[in-house]
Amino acid sequence: PVAAFPKRLARVARHDAKVLRTSARWLVTSREHHNYTYELTKLSRHHLAWFVSVVCDLPVKQVRGYLDEIESDDKLRRHIETAIAGAARRGLADKRVRYARRIGWYAIVRATRPTHVVETGVDKGLGSCVLAAALLRNAAEGHPGRVTSLDINPEAGYLARTAPWSEVVDLVIGDSIASIAALDRPVDLFLHDSDHSRAHEKREFEAVETKLAPGAILLTDNVTATNVLAEHAERTGRRFLAYRETPANHWYPGDGIGVAW
């Protein structure tokens, strides 16, 4: 063990130095203090395409087309850049638009063409915009749908208050459990991304169960932190899969997408 020590030290020092360099760069170049944004590594994007392909039972080539579609949606990108530049809290947001795992949400909506999507947790509305962009494309192909976006913060969702995206987004302010209980249309796709505590995530999946349309898909943004959706899937006789994203050039280890269907 003593002979191997210098080699082991060099290995771990190289790794930690890289994390420190990335962290230092982020501290001076980014303004974000939570809900970090970043690109996925190339490999992580490849794996995301396969993940969606398996879950939605579609050729991976078609899924890659959906990922390309959202990434080359310049109209949405420009809208987000402009809205962030003019926002009161612009000092806490980065100028560059980076969707990370949300491109997977986009591909799932494009692949499954839901009539009603519910997203809990909106923050600025980046995810709501991505979901709305997918729903607008679906509508143009003859499959209209809407997203109900739930947040407890009245200031949430400023990115999703501009047309055409706002035309398919219903922002609901209040605690997500009460808002889920008040849903009056069946839910085809449900995404948990609000209070990431284990207890709240569990309460959301329990609350939405009676609101689901047959064959509904459940997503969680909390899959790298809890096993809540996997346990819910087992209890309710669904399949479950988890994708763990890898951010490019960021110190944050990343989140993921958990899916039960």
Ligand X SMILES: C[S@@+](CC[C@H](N)C(=O)[O-])C[C@H]1O[C@@H](n2cnc3c(N)ncnc32)[C@H](O)[C@@H]1O
CA-nearest of 165, 101, 98, 170 to 135 is: 165
* DSSP H or E stretch at residue 45: helix 42-56
| 122 vs 168 by CB, closer to ligand X | 122
* Smallest distance from ligand X to CB 65, Å: 22
Burial letters 70-106, b for 16+ CB under 10 A, else e: bbebeebbebbeebbeeeeeeeebeeebbbbbbbbbb
* Smallest distance from ligand X to CB 37, Å: 8
Determine the Cα–Cα distance for residues 120 and 160; give it in Å rounded to an integer.
Answer: 14
* Smallest distance from ligand X to CB 228, Å: 15
Region from 114-122, 211-219, 226-234, 237-245 binding ligand X, contact rule CB under 6 A: 114-122
Residue number of the CB atom closest to ligand X: 127
Name the DSSP letter for residue 247. Answer: B
| 150 vs 171 by CB, closer to ligand X | 150
Indicate whether 126 belongs to the interface with ligand X (CB under 6 A). yes
Indicate whether 201 belongs to the interface with ligand X (CB under 6 A). no
**Among residues 70, 116, 117, 193, which is the contact residue for ligand X, using CB under 6 A?**
193
Indicate whether 123 belongs to the interface with ligand X (CB under 6 A). yes
- Structural tokens at position 164: 């055409």
Q: Which 84-103 residues touch ligand X, going by CB under 6 A?
A: 102
Determine the Cα–Cα distance for residues 5 and 10; give it in Å rounded to an integer.
Answer: 9
Residues 6+ apart with CB under 8 A from 137: 69, 110
Region from 2-10, 19-27, 65-73, 118-126 binding ligand X, contact rule CB under 6 A: 118-126
Strand order in the sheet with 146-151: 169-173, 146-151, 116-120, 187-192, 212-220, 256-260, 240-244
Give the dihedral of Cα atoms 44, 120, 23, 249; nearest 10 deg.
20
* Smallest distance from ligand X to CB 200, Å: 6
**Among residues 53, 138, 148, 194, which is the contact residue for ligand X, using CB under 6 A?**
194
Indicate whether 219 belongs to the interface with ligand X (CB under 6 A). no
* Smallest distance from ligand X to CB 63, Å: 20
Return residues touching ligand X (CB under 6 A): 35, 102, 119-123, 126-127, 150-153, 156, 175-176, 193-195
